Homo-oligomer: A and B are copies of this chain.
Amino acid sequence: MAQVEIIPLGGCGEIGKNMTVVRQGDEILVVDAGLSFPTEEMHGVDIVVPDFTYLTENAERVRGIVLTHGHEDHVGALPYLLEEVHAPVYGTELTIALLKRKLQERLRAEHLDLRVVSAGDRFGIGGFEVEMIHVTHSLADACAIAVHAEAGVLVFTGDFKFDFTPIDGRQSDMSRFAELGDEGVTVLLCDCTNVESPGWCPSERTVYAGFEKVFNEAPGRILITCFASSVHRIQQAFDVAKQFGRKVATAGRRMEQNISMAAAIGRLRIPDETLINLNECDKYSDEQLVILTTGTQGEPLAALSLMAKDEYPRMQIVPGDTVIYSAKPIPGNEAAVWQTVNRLFRQGARVVYGPDEGVHVSGHAYQEEIKLMINLTRPDYLAPVHGEPRHQHHLVSLARDMGYSDENIIVMENGNRLVIEADGAYLGEDVVCGRVLVDSGGFAGVSDEVLRDRRNLASDGVLFVNVAIDSDAGKVVGKPELVARGLPASDGELDRLREHIYDALAALSHAELRDTAAIHHDVSDLARKFLRKEINKRPLVVATVTDV
């Protein structure tokens, strides 16, 4: 009997690290391979990727990896996945172009099989027929993906919105979604990131008016910060600069790279004689300049963050500057973003930010757009993805209002296995799944034990105690050595602890002093109790016993 399985390894019950397995018999297709960012308690962790043990165990079955678009939460785990699983990667031109450099840095050429496809293309990957369907999103060249399997048609919306006035003139392909609806869609895996927002997401184009208003009022230079991959936003920055007769310079390596890459593949039309080098700015007066800069998330080393601290070598913020914050803080980055904004104000800049200014719009569908997607495709089963439980729950309510019954709404968690057969769908046994923490050195696999130690170290510091014992003679050699780090204990307090441990050891018999394991335990215990009782501190205590 024809059967197909859908297994989310990431992106269900969370926002980020989107990755879904589609399996038909012995053939596997992967849709997206994204990362997410660490939460506060993941000390020393740079990025988080899905635990794709299921794919490494089935590596020889993987026929291909299809990408909806080039955002990190959909492609950022690819360097790690491709180290384990060698399969062709399919994506649109911009998606592949954004990825290429990073993959080439990390992977050997023979493991890289990147295949550019276009919206509207329909092609075979093993026994699957895969179809790319254009959607509008904050990033250009984004696609939904329809997988035509034997047991039915699966539609992955990817990240989408219905922008009826898109910057590049390319709308979400409503007629194809409607056709698929006519032909019959079995499951719609639908982006629900913005399902809490009623109504319709404003068009990317509305940002132009927001920019225009700021340009009309700005007395000096205008800095615009947006994601370096937001080609449509960057296009509008160039266009409004041109309209006001301003030149555009860039600050930040990624911004510079992406602009030249996007222009090279025709995704960005840079008006003639508009783009200048940042070093040329002194040839122009302040009111002739726009600077496009990285740093929307308050990243410590981004150009705008450095400018805000007056530590950017290539330019300085001066009173009269206007900074357009054309983005939104990613949850978790709020503090860093506001710190940058506050520093810019302190340096005399005016910062334009927030939902009322019209200088940023989301790339994700609001409620009515989600309903439109559902009404066009009319799936048998609806599965909310790219959302936390609260978002998934909202999509459930919305679908109920549209007449869906609960058995046709499937709220999946990562690792669930949705089995689809001709006569219906059900949840099978879960697969292994979870998260893998990657630290700043690129090491994938920071363990829970390491995290727990780091959490303890961070909150209370550490005390190191070394005692030297001559176990043959059964005597203590010298005073214990104590080193405290991250622990606010005075020298006097540490001296008292040293004496305390020494006295306790000195009271032991010769026989007892031969048991270094027991001494090790006793010393740790003494130190812990002393610190808790005497100075109300609970550091990690590490004892070593040197037997001389």
A binding-site residues for B, Cβ under 8 Å: 13, 39-40, 43-44, 196, 198, 331-332, 334-335, 338, 341-343, 345-346, 350-351, 353-354, 356, 388-390, 392-393, 439-443, 445-447, 450-451, 453-455, 457-462, 464, 466, 468, 470, 477-478, 481, 483, 485-488, 535-538, 540, 542, 544, 546-548
Contacts and interface: CB of A to CB of B under 8 A. Distances in A.
Task: Give this chain's copy count.
Answer: 2
Contacts of A451: 486
B345 A389 contact: yes
Contact of A338 (B388, B443, B454): B388
Contact of A442 (B341, B345, B536): B536
A198 B454 CA distance: 44
Given A332-B335, A481-B546, A548-B548, A458 B390 contact: no
B442 A485 contact: no
A221 to B, nearest CB: 18
A198 B488 contact: no
A470 to B, nearest CB: 8
4 cross-chain pairs, A with B, having the tightest CB-CB distances, nearest first: A458-B458, A441-B536, A457-B457, A44-B459
8 contacts: A40-B335, A43-B486, A44-B459, A342-B390, A446-B488, A466-B546, A485-B540, A485-B542
B454 A486 contact: yes
A543 B481 CA distance: 11
B457 A458 contact: yes
A483 B542 contact: yes
Given A388-B342, A468-B546, A462 B488 contact: no
A461 B356 contact: no
A453 B542 CA distance: 16
Given A485-B542, A486-B454, A342 B389 contact: yes
A154 to B, nearest CB: 25
A462 to B, nearest CB: 6
A454 B450 contact: no
A540 B461 CA distance: 12
Contacts of A43: 458-459, 486
A485 B544 CA distance: 13
Contacts of A535: 441, 443
Contacts of A537: 439, 441, 443
Nearest to A388: B342
B458 A44 contact: yes
Contacts of A331: 334-335, 338
Contacts of A343: 389
Nearest to A445: B488
A196 B351 CA distance: 12
Contacts of A350: 393
